Each structure stands twice: as C-alpha cells, then as structure tokens.
Structure 1
C-alpha cells in the first residue's frame, strides 16, 4: 500500500477507535510475597517517575488484547498491529532503539539508529531501509516509537494526575524487580469509561514496569502489556545495527514530504480541538476532503479495495443529534464518532460526551 495512503487510513481508523494511549494495560507478571519497600507519598512517587532519566535496557513485554474491538479481520489497514503477542524492546537511553513485535509465527522488527531506520517483516522476508533527512530526524527526535509501559505511563500521569485521586497501594514484584503500585482513580466529576489506572513503578530506576487500565463494568483488564523480563544495562552497539537475512527483498528509500501533503497535515492539525480535560477529555476535528478521498482508495491487508462506508455499516452504528449524523464505534475503553461530513470526536468517555463535544462551538 502507498505509505501516505496507509498513514491517512490508519489515522482515520485510530480516531474512530478512540483513546490512543489510554488503552495500554497490564496484568501481574509474577506471583509471590509483595516486596518490603520504604514508605513514599503518592505525589513524591509521581514526581520522581516523571523526573527520572531514560535508562538503557533490554526487556520483553507481554501483550494481550481484550479491548472489545469490532471483528473486521484484515479489512482495516493497521488493525492487525493490535494483535501483537509480545515485544522485545532494547534502547540505549539516548535515542537508539530496537523493537521486535511477535504475532503468531511472524515477527516485525524496527531498528532506529540516528537517521537510519530498518523495518523487517519475517512473514514475507522483506526489509526496508529508510534514511531520514536531517531536518526530519531533528523534528522527530523526541517522538520515538515505543511499545513499553514506561512511555505510556509517563504520558498518562501527565494527562490525568490533576483530575485523579492518587494513592500508593502497596508493592509488587514485576519481572523479578521490586515496584510500588500507584493507583489513579477518576474524581467523581469525571465522565469516563475507565475505572482506574494502576502503574507498577520500579523502586530503583522509577521506570514504570506495568500499566493497568480497568474499564467500568469489567473485572479484568481490557488490554495488557507488562515487562515479563527486563535487564537495566548498557546495550551493545550491535543491538542497533541490522543486516537483512539471506534472500530478503530489500528496498531503500528516503521519505519526502510533498508540499501538498504537508499542507494537508497542517490543515487537519488546525481543525483539532480538545474539549474538556483529564479523564473526560474528548478530541474533535475534521478530516480534509482530500484525506477522505485518499482513505477511500485504500486497500486491505490482502490488497483488496476498501469501501469505507461498507466497513462502517459492519462495525459501527448510525447515530444523529443536534450536531448532525454519523457513525458510532464503541469499545470497552473508548468511543469514537465519525460524522457524515468528515468531523470526528473520540475519547475514553460515554457517547453523550462526544455528542456534546461535536455540538460545542
């Protein structure tokens, strides 16, 4: 698939599905007696976690998806990424990283080393070498792609701490390391589908090892991602080098952003509006007509043409109100609305909150 078309389609799908970073959670990775650690206040634990410096490490993350997503098979590009079973993550703590995602018998590897990014897919034995222009590398140097709980937890803490009741709920052993259990519960005024967020924070490094998000009305996490193994140590330079396997089909490219595509992205960005804050935040915006047209030209993971409206009738329900009409997608942890005229709203909130956000001037 054309990378630009795939990116636009993924953005539309991500908006429809809802809550972005608020869907990563975890289950206990080890059992046994809780470790004994010095007492610490919730605020001190939060602050020390946000202030912690990135560490070099190599670890394995276990992933399980029970988000309640619609069963669309391979019809939506990018949705299969949510079916990852596990991930091996390595970083030097200064920008170099290697991520290997396992799904069934296949594996996708992404190695980032300065301006060079390798992407390898074992399913078809193909590798792509991307040389990122210096100006783009600088622009995105702090926007690394991470699947570990640490990145997610830090983002969550920054977004919902002010609208939460925060407490330290004992200790836990995660990946054979002692950790504090931090619990964030939405204040009574917050309208959200989420019941609580639990973060297991490493006693020594203050790095989150496990993040658990529980939805209202369910006893088990909707999704889990937790370190089952982790080693804090300097990583060898060879970890961030990649040599394509024998027989691999190798493609080299240097990404270029065409003026029209940059204008399209800036236009979409200018339409984004944040309504509310904390747990009941909703994101609204409008998808440019050009982007909708390109999404309509998308193909599924088997290369077949995708009919966006036909897909919506399969996994979304029609809704309407003072804001107009459109389609509603509901999961255990979030909702999303895509209107007939290309507007959207999404969040970890009940549908009424989205309808109000769409109607807001």
Structure 2
C-alpha cells in the first residue's frame, strides 16, 4: 500500500458537503437574477445556466480546519511526496489560475513554491502536469464523460453544487443579499443545517447576478462565524481565453503515463446521489440522511500494520485513540479508522461515527 494512500480519507474535510447527498430543489425558477428581488430558488437555478461561461480568473482558497501542527518543508521534514502536498493544500492558503471556455475546455494552474501543477482539458483529452516531479498523465475520456474534470482542484462552483445537493427539509435557505466579489455584483444565499448533529454551521454562496457563475463559497463550522474553508475569485474577466491555453505538450524529459478511457462507458460509473453504478465491492456505503450522512468504506480499506516510518508517525499525529480504532475530528468533518480497516467519514462528531460502526 502506498504510504499516503489513506491521506485523502483522513483529510477529507475540504469536501465537506460530499457526504451530504440529497435531491436538488425541484422546479426552481429559471428567471434572470439581475433584478432587485430574486428568490433563493432563482439564484440556485441560475448556477446551472453558467455551464457555458467563458472566463479567466484567479482563485484563492483558505482553510482553518483545526488540523494539528505538522512539520512541513525542507530541512528535517518528516513528510514527503503526496503526504506533504495534500497537507499543504488543506492547511495553508493557496491560489490558482483558471481558464474556462465552456464545459469541455478548462485549464487550472496551481502554483506553489518553485513548482506548478496543471490540469488541462480540451475535449476528450485531459493532461495533468507536475513540474516538481516532471510527470504528466494523458487521459482520453469517453464520449459521455462528465463536463467538469480537474483532478481535485476546488472552485466555488464545486462547493456550490455540493451545497445545493444538500437542500432538503433539513436545510434552511436565506433570501439573497447583494455583495461584491472580485469586482462583480453577486447575490449571496446562506444554507443553514436545521440539525444540531452536524459539524457544519452554514454554507454561504455568492453567485454572479448577471451570469449565475458561483464567485465565492464559504463553509463555517457550527458555533463559529469565521470561515473554516473559503474559496473564491479574487479577479475575474469574462470572455473566451486564448485557444493556446488548452493545448498541452509535455516537456521532452517528462515521464508520461497514458490512460485511454474512451471505451469506458461512464453511464455505469455514477456515484451516490440517486444514480446506479457498477460496484466492485470496495465502494462506500451510506447511512443517515442530509447533513448527518455517514460514508463507510469496507474492512481492509486501511491496514495500519502496513504503515511504516513517516506514514505511521503521521497517522499518530493526525488521529487519537478511540473505542475500536483511531479518529480525527476537524472543524467540519470527522474520520474514523476502525481496527478492522474500515473508514467512516461524515460532517458529524467522531462519536456518531463510532456508533455507526457498531
């Protein structure tokens, strides 16, 4: 097992609403939202209308998840490779450039110290590039591939869609208020869980009044008015980006991996949220409802006896012993690693995960 393979499960809080799957608001109004008195349903419906938008911009993401302090960087660091990269994304602020020309041409550039990571989609071709490792991956997509592929990059639209999926009788939705984001007029709505059993206090979405494009998404922990996670545009210009930005050729000394998925029908790959998917036995199962949904991966997912050196020490620093395993509770999400190798996660306290595992 790769040393850091379990890290995304342990540090999943950045995708807080991913464990919350529920039907979207039905029959939401389709009226323009540039008027003076839109409803929350108008604002939510306008998000779907932005899928063909053309724009360039700069994103900033901040995280205050309450993860323990860990050594990072050069000089005595106990973290290497993927582990350091994942922790860096989730515990520090970072910025990215984004270029979008409709649903099938996108480029995302995440710049870190002395390194750059890119994801470039042009139709059925997707390239990922890591300048630090000098590695590139070329994926050929099937014809019915999802429109929006970024291999982990987060934008306000991602958080918006996940939050919208959570709008059920368990969520209170505020009326829109006018705000300014990156020089654009926006309507902001607030989604507040009605249940006290979740770690999430509120999700705030700011949506461009003219285009419906989500401009900023903020997730607050219960009992706090400060953002636990926020991602938003700091600059945004509408219009088609230069076509050359969606062409990628790896450097001659790059290590290139090819993955041809053109014959893989994605209609059998749908995930949780009302669609069927072909199951191989290692997909998560779900219990609970709304904001209290808990995802569980089966026994054997994590074998702590296989972890050595840095990976084992990192696990001890991130988690604490609890009944039947080890767990970590952040500001927004808890993760529980059972002694038999199961992984449970949700936007709930650790105690809820322990109870669900029995």
In the alignment, structure 1 residue 252 sits paired with structure 2 residue 250: no
Q: 1:111 to 1:306 in 2, by over 3 A?
A: farther
Q: Deviations over 1:42-65 (max 9, x none)?
A: 223223324543312111101222
Q: Is the 8 A contact 2:177 2:187 kept in 1?
A: yes
Structure 2 SS opposite 1:173: strand
Q: 1:56 to 1:294 in 2, by over 3 A?
A: farther
2:289 paired residue number: 277
Report how far residue 199 of structure 1 moved: 0.5
Q: Is the 8 A contact 1:67 1:332 kept in 2?
A: yes
1:330 paired residue number: 329
In the alignment, structure 1 residue 79 sits paired with structure 2 residue 87: yes
1:185 paired residue number: 192
Structure with the larger RCO, 1 or 2 (CA within 8 Å, 6+ apart): 1
1:15, 1:174 → 2: CA distance? Answer: 32
Report how far residue 171 of structure 1 moved: 0.6
1:46 paired residue number: 44
In the alignment, structure 1 residue 286 sits paired with structure 2 residue 292: no
Q: Deviations over 1:206-237 (max 9, x none)?
A: 11100011112333211221101112212332
Deviates more, 1:205-214 or 1:90-99: 90-99
2:51, 2:105 → 1: CA distance? Answer: 15
Q: 1:45 to 1:66 in 2, by over 3 A?
A: same
- Which one of 56, 62, 77 corresponds to residue 60 of structure 2? 62
Within 5 A, what are the aligned runs for 1:178-327?
A: 178-187=185-194, 189-244=195-250, 249-255=253-259, 266-269=280-283, 272-287=284-299, 289=300, 292=302, 296=306, 306=309, 308-320=311-323, 325-327=324-326
Q: Deviations over 1:234-258 (max 9, x none)?
A: 233211012456xx6322221379x
2:128 paired residue number: 119
2:250, 2:254 → 1: CA distance? Answer: 8
Q: Deviations over 1:285-320 (max 9, x none)?
A: 215x4x6469947xxxxxxx6564433222211111
Report how far residue 276 of structure 1 moved: 1.4
Q: Is the 8 A contact 1:88 1:100 kept in 2?
A: yes
Q: 1:207 to 1:306 in 2, by over 3 A?
A: farther
**RMSD of the alignment, in Å?**
3.0
Structure 2 SS opposite 1:43: helix
Q: Is the 8 A contact 2:116 2:130 kept in 1?
A: yes
Structure 1 SS opposite 2:159: helix
2:88, 2:144 → 1: CA distance? Answer: 28
1:32 paired residue number: none
Report how far residue 170 of structure 1 moved: 1.6
Unaligned runs of 5+ in 1: 25-35, 298-304
Q: Is the 8 A contact 1:163 1:190 kept in 2?
A: no
In the superposition, the TM-score normalised over structure 2's length comes to 0.78
Q: 1:294 to 1:195 in 2, by over 3 A?
A: closer
Structure 1 SS opposite 2:281: helix
Q: 1:201 to 1:161 in 2, by over 3 A?
A: farther
1:233, 1:197 → 2: CA distance? Answer: 29
In the superposition, the TM-score normalised over structure 1's length comes to 0.77
Task: Give the paired residue count.
Answer: 315
Q: Is the 8 A contact 1:296 1:308 kept in 2?
A: no
Deviates more, 1:306-315 or 1:213-222: 306-315
Q: 1:84 to 1:214 in 2, by over 3 A?
A: closer
Report how far residue 9 of structure 1 moved: 4.0
